[in-house]
Chains A and B, each alone.
Chain A
């Protein structure tokens, strides 16, 4: 049964986790460019990490049976660097990922995830390494993420996580889908258009 895509306030996420190990994993690896040839995002879930998976012939974390139905990724440093393609978080989301925990994220990728309601949460290198070991040791473990408290826990341990304050508020209030808020400022936008020199013949 496919999970619904994120909607409204993101308060808690529950599920199994798995690890994608490595620093500087770029969006070309998350979704190779040839899969960008589409006018809809709908087929991307199947193609996530396509080339890495092909290379590992069924042993890539996204192919392992034990990870089917998992919804939390644990990654390392500078995850999602490179291209601005929203196809990358779209592919992850459509595969089933709802939360990414890592050492750090590339900026555009972080924003793209936020726009889809997928929190990218950070912890220190040491904490992430420990977490990755725990997850690898027991892939069946159910983890609970609590956004309000910024905790990630199983029955035994609780990890304290971080997220930049703006994103925290947006996710918690469900206002991560910016369009309607932006449109609320119609008058100010019109004012800007009427006053910017380069839109008004430099008068």
Chain B
């Protein structure tokens, strides 16, 4: 064992890194940026949960006079500082839940008060959007907690101040969840699987095309290609076609596995899922070609993973809904192609929406624009890669 030789190897490694300033920068800068993103995601103040109430309760009469227990419950919800309540009718409530303007809704039926007084345990309808089981679950839990916290006031209202406990059951109502998309059997995997397919396609195709193109350049074959009659557009399109084939094969395997082996729930058209995936892949291939211009070796390609892939994984709505993110992160999310792919894939697979829906078309149009832009960038940088 020679200390001199060991130190010589260590010194060589340090010297190599010192020649590659970008790597040193990334070693420090990228983790700090990613930690900042995570900090913003985890530490952001949670705004009051926006909920809607539809009160159809006609009230009921007891010894204290005519009372509306739904109104009392609503007032109690309004006093809860974790919630932000808007009052709507039943149809508007469903519309706002569907559009994501409110996270959930509470509907008190016309006989709510009467049934409570008759000890019939009426159902309170909890309207949930349902596409994200985590969000639905937390909304349902928050609502259940808030309503149960209101029970003492309710009992006071029923029995009158003189006799607060009254002769009422401990659980005067039951909660009846109603999902606009999916149902209570939807779990996190149903929410995650559609976007995982898009993410894997984007990740692997981006990585493979960057490395392939880097090799094309470093092995000199790109120069040979450019010295042949092939045009830059033909090279970019050829790459795109070649890689898309593998991305589609990967997509088919993942989708069939998700549907038939791990039995995810899905409702929409698998064809549209493929269309979204192909467009996303085209963008990823050309992003890979474009960014490989700025790399000299495989190590530098790998550095694009924390720069390009990880932020998209964090911010594109895979784990945290984009709509619930702080404004700054939301703006970053909206410039990421994966965000639109995730919107589209979930809209199709979880909500069962089709190409006739403007929101799906819009997301697809953004992905097409991204792919076209990257194709142009990829083709334009080809000459620079040779020279």
Q: Are A and B interaction partners?
A: no
| Residues of chain A whose beta carbon lies under 8 Å from any beta carbon of chain B | none
| Residues of chain B whose beta carbon lies under 8 Å from any beta carbon of chain A | none
